Amino acid sequence: MEQLLLLLIFLPIVGALVTAFTGNTAKYVALVFALASLAITAFIACEFVPDASTQFMVNLPWIQDLGISFHAGIDGISLITVLLTNVLVPIIILASYQHDYKKPASFFSLILFMQAGLLVVFTAMDAFLFYIGWEAALIPIYFICAIWGGKDRVRINMKFFVYTIAGSLFMLLGIIYLYLQNPAHNFDIQAFYSLHLDNTQQAWIFWSFFIAFAIKMPIFPFHTWQPDTYTEAPTAGTMLLSGIMLKMGIYGVIRWLLPIVPNGVQEWGTTAIVLSIIGIVYASLIAFTQKNAKKLVAYSSIAHVGLISAGIFALNTQGMQGAMIQMLSHGINVIGLFFVLDIIFSRVKTNTISELGGIAKVAPKLAIAFLIIVLGTVALPGTNGFVGEFMLLLGVYQFSFWAVVFAGLTIIFGAVYMFRMYQNIMLGKTNELTIGFEDIRGSEQLVLVIICALVIVIGVYPKPILHLSEASVQLLLEQVNQKLTSVK
């Protein structure tokens, strides 16, 4: 089965190389390769045994003198993120069909290169390989934003690049330190899990990893690059960043931070929860003031990711399982929101909320799809957002009553500003901009049907997804608690 995982990782690279030389047919070639990756992922999910083991393992020598291996595998935690990546990438490519990008071959090739980097991150069992995937995913999105972004893309993209590179360097220092402490002198994840570090060492490692992951998510106060980047990036870039790339930070906390330095998490986890909750309240309040719908959704994303982060650091099953399914749900919802706003912008050349109105009268299909996605975003029972956010709030409640009081504001505030945005854009009277608005058609309609179906299906029947990750989450928490107990 190791060949299957190798195929999963390297197929997007092959696809990227082929797409780079296909000219105007690039979007069709890229979609074929993305769907092939999805088919492999579906087969892996069907063959996956939902226990705590790591399956489809590949462990090949790479740089033997330094103890570096191409060591990758899939367990219940990584399977969720692999599903997230390979479900959303075809949707993002299909959503880009309505645009005529300059140099389309380069554009779609970079998307597939980024997909490969993301898959390396989500399957790596070697810290050096994880770092390579982490950086490899950054390079394509940098060029996507720098070449096809908005007018202020150079300044904003530089800020994004500096933030993420700085965080990556902190993580690299932590990885090198762990390597030096490892008697086996390799980067194997299980060897890192087995290290006995004192409290001071764990505190330093905690911050070296947490800063990198917090920037990627992003968590307050490491979030300032995000709203402008999401707004100025081309829509496909915004979807990649918000739907998948920020999950690298969440996954990193779960896979690498918690099991390696549980004492550091115990000492500083409360601080992480406080920062996450500050981000929820701060981003929600800022969202109320936004006049641009795309920037409003960007701040909304910060609030929702803050709740995921708080649930993880609560260190209980409900919070962790809530984080797993909410990673998937948030990715679906946020790319749906950005896609609707992109459709609106393509018609009327503005996302300024006050300039819109009455679109539901002339585009009822778009209005219905937008409403379903908004309902998922505000966690209406029966939608995908409800399952994850309910479990996250339950997990945070087990940590602290007051923490859940403030963390719950993400749902209350979110409902207010999202419904207000929907009302101002879709309802009311049409104006000279929106009177001739055309309803969705073709690939636009297909994308929104798929997204709305996922919102409803996951909301109504989330059990298969929760079942995939349950055993792996339980094992991870047991490992963390055992290390904490042994120290005591």
Angle at CA of residue 167, ends 175 and 265, nearest 5°:
65
Confidence band, pLDDT 50/70/90 cuts, at residue 161? confident
Q: What is the mean pLDDT of residues 120-148?
A: 90
Query: Average pLDDT for residues 460-468, to the nearest whole number?
Result: 92
- pLDDT tens sequence across 85-103: 999 999 999 998 888 888 8
pLDDT band for position 152 (cuts 50, 70, 90): confident
Asked whether residue 54 falls in the same domain as residue 193, the answer is yes
Residues 330 and 349 both lie in one domain: yes
Q: Are residues 320 and 225 in the same domain?
A: no
Residue 487 has pLDDT above 70, yes or no: no
| 240 and 314 inside one domain | no
How confident is residue 223, by pLDDT bands cut at 50, 70 and 90? confident
For 413-452, how does the pLDDT look when each residue is reduced to its tens digit (9 = 90+)?
889 999 999 999 999 888 888 888 888 888 899 999 999 9
Same domain, 333 and 414: yes
For residues 334 and 417, membership in a common domain is answered with yes
Domain check: are 191 and 151 in the same one?
yes
Residues 9 and 73 in one domain: yes
CB burial of residue 475 (10 Å; 0-12, 13-18, 19+) = middle
Residues 458 and 435 in one domain: yes
Query: At a CB cut-off of 8 Å and minimum separation 6, what does 111 contact?
Result: 30, 89, 92, 93, 140, 144, 236, 240
Please compute the mean of the pLDDT values over residues 368-387 and round it to a whole number.
93
Q: Domain end: 260, 285, 316, which one?
A: 260
The answer to whether 293 touches 421, Cβ cutoff 8 Å, is yes
Q: pLDDT at position 2, please?
A: 64
Mean pLDDT, all residues of the chain: 90
Contacts of 351 (CB under 8 A, 6+ apart): 292, 293, 294, 341, 344, 345
Give residue 429's pLDDT: 87
**Type and span of the H or E element at 43:** helix 26-47
Q: What is the pLDDT of residue 357?
A: 87
- Residue closest to 375 by CA, chosen among 333, 413, 347: 333
Range of the domain at 83: 1-260
User: What type of residue sits at position 301?
Assistant: S
Q: What is the mean pLDDT of residues 130-145?
A: 90
Among 260, 285, 311, the domain-final residue is 260
Beta partners for residue 68, in sequence order: 63
Q: Mind listing the pLDDT tens digit for each residue in 195-205?
A: 888 889 999 99
**How far is the C-alpha of 164 from the C-alpha of 211, rounded, in Å?**
10
Domain tally, the chain: 2
- In this prediction the pTM is 0.92
Tens-digit pLDDT profile for residues 25-76: 889 999 999 999 999 999 999 999 988 888 999 989 888 888 899 999 999 9
Looking at the fold, whether 94 and 139 belong to one and the same domain comes out as yes
Do 255 and 391 reside in the same domain of the chain?
no
Residue at a domain's end among 260, 291, 308: 260
With a cut of 60, say whether residue 488 has pLDDT above it: no
Residue with tokens 């120290």: 487
**Residue 284, token pair as written in the block:** 């929600």
- For residue 486, the model assigns a pLDDT of 61
d(CA 425, CA 434): 10
Tell me: pLDDT of 124 over 90.
yes
